[in-house]
Amino acid sequence: MIEVDAALQPHVVSDLGGELLFDLITETKNTEWKVARTKLRYAYQLCITNPAGPGVDPATWGDGLPGMDGEYDAPLGGQGTPGVAQFVTEDWAAATATSRHSAKQLLADTLDLHHRLPRTHQKVEALEVELWRARRLAQETHDLSRDAARWIDELLAKEDNWSLRNLDRAIKLGVARFHPEMLEKQTGAPGRDDWDVTVDHRAGAQGTSTLCAVGSSLDLGKFHDQVADEAATMGRLGDTDTLGQRRAKALGVIADRQATLDLLGLLDNTPGFTEDDLTHPETGKTVTRRRSYLKAKLFVHLSLADLTTMCATTATVPGTAIGDGPGASTSRPASGGAGGVGVVNTNMFGPATTTLIADYLKQLGVDARVTPVIDTTRAWAVDQHDPPQVMRDEVVARDAHCVHPYCNVPSELCDLDHIVPYDENGPPGQTSPDGLAPLCRRHHRLKTHGGWSYVRNRDGTYTWTNQHGHRWLVTPFGTTELD
């Protein structure tokens, strides 16, 4: 293998050693720092040549979307930095093959370094401080006032020490001096603003998810004790799983029991209701006992053989019905599904075997609903702007995520965009699966107002063009830059 040094002198890597090898290693470090500095310069030039102003909306952390107010509506740079035109982040993200968030962060960091941390920026320009250290300082001081950032910057320059330990110390001193009300948040410990309960269905193996809860110590302590008691009871009743496994299963037992209690309590309070007759006295409809709170709609991609096997398996599940409803599982044939593996296209679950999917249906019982198979090869159209639900389901099943370059927002969370803008006075049949594509709200607005355009190719891929004429090809497997 041959490498060329800065003097354009070729070297056979396997022949290198001693002082020459060490010199080349050092040269590599210098080259890396210079490349990072060049990227920072380009990012700043992009910002100042695309300023926000009269008639030009600024780029914000919330992309100017409705409801994204507060801190999300803040401009990219910290206090004292100039505004940047909207959609500039898309230009940087596409040109560097990075995510939109990464683009925002780099543009924000270069603005903060130039206008809030000038001494640190000088060190980066002189190749005396690595860019990643400077960017960390910019991010840690981003929410502070300009005076606080400048004070921290001067302190580091006076001590001429940008070690991580000294960065943290200087930031804490600056916060204590200018923003004492932020000291509690600077400790890094979660507070009331961090209370939440989240579940990640993609973090583990198939059928395994992660639940995270941050809240009142008293409330979480009570819930933990209830889970532990339930797990202990399961063990006394003969469950041979480990204590940890029983605790995890206890969450579902508690949820199902609460769902049943809620329904029975509602019916018990209804005049004229009796346990012998599960017919609602007012509507006359049969009331089905609810076993689960789960409201998930699964789009399961299966081969014809797997679909046949799956139907044979679920046919024995008592109470399983055909139709729409909570916990519905919508399936369609797809190539490559042999081996009993279904790809579940939803924001809740990842890849799963048909055996696991059948087990889900058994656990849901009467709450499980199986809708008719979606045929993504069907050619049809409607004479209206908004597609019907079955057409939306078809497009969501066809495209797993937003079709803008490098975007991975799940399609079920996206808008359905008319690739050719809908014309109220145009011909009939303008809304069809081939004419629709999922775009997240940000990229939907970019296509409408930001000068970007795209087409859907005959093979189902997409070709995008930005306002500068650069093109990208988006396929189900990723994005390729064409220019």
- Tokens representing 201 are 């269905």
- Tokens representing 141 are 């001081």
pLDDT for the residue 73 = 75
Report the range of poorest mean pLDDT among 8-17, 146-155, 473-482: 8-17
Mean pLDDT of the chain: 79
Residue 6 has pLDDT above 70, yes or no: no
pLDDT for the residue 379 = 82
pLDDT for the residue 68 = 46
Higher pLDDT, 10 or 471: 471
Residue 222's contacts (CB-CB under 8 Å, 6 or more residues apart) are none
pLDDT for the residue 314 = 46
Higher pLDDT, 323 or 480: 480
Tell me how far CA of residue 345 lies from CA of 165, 330, 478, in angstroms: 45, 10, 17
Three-state DSSP state, 430 = coil
pLDDT for the residue 430 = 93
Cα(483)–Cα(476) distance, rounded to whole angstroms?
A: 20
User: Residues 154-211: pLDDT tens digits?
Assistant: 999 998 889 888 999 899 899 888 888 776 565 555 667 778 888 887 766 667 888 8
Cα(43)–Cα(50) distance, rounded to whole angstroms?
A: 11
Q: What is the rounded average pLDDT of the residues 367-396?
A: 81
pLDDT for the residue 121 = 97
Higher pLDDT, 390 or 122: 122
Residue 328 has pLDDT above 60, yes or no: no
- Residue 287, φ and ψ in degrees, nearest 5: -95, 125
Instruction: Tell me the pTM.
Output: 0.56
pLDDT for the residue 222 = 83
Considering just the CA atoms, what is the radius of gyration of the chain in Å? 29
pLDDT for the residue 382 = 93
Burial environment of residue 60 by CB neighbours within 10 A (0 to 12, 13 to 18, 19 or more): buried
pLDDT for the residue 104 = 93
Tell me the range of 113-122, 163-172, 347-356 where mean pLDDT is highest: 113-122
Task: Give the rounded percent of residues in the chain with a pLDDT score beyond 90.
Answer: 36
Higher pLDDT, 291 or 141: 141
User: Residues 222-278: pLDDT tens digits?
Assistant: 888 899 999 999 988 899 999 999 999 999 888 877 766 655 544 444 555 454 455
Nearest to 62 by CA among 407, 451, 442: 442
Biggest CA-to-CA distance, the chain: 94
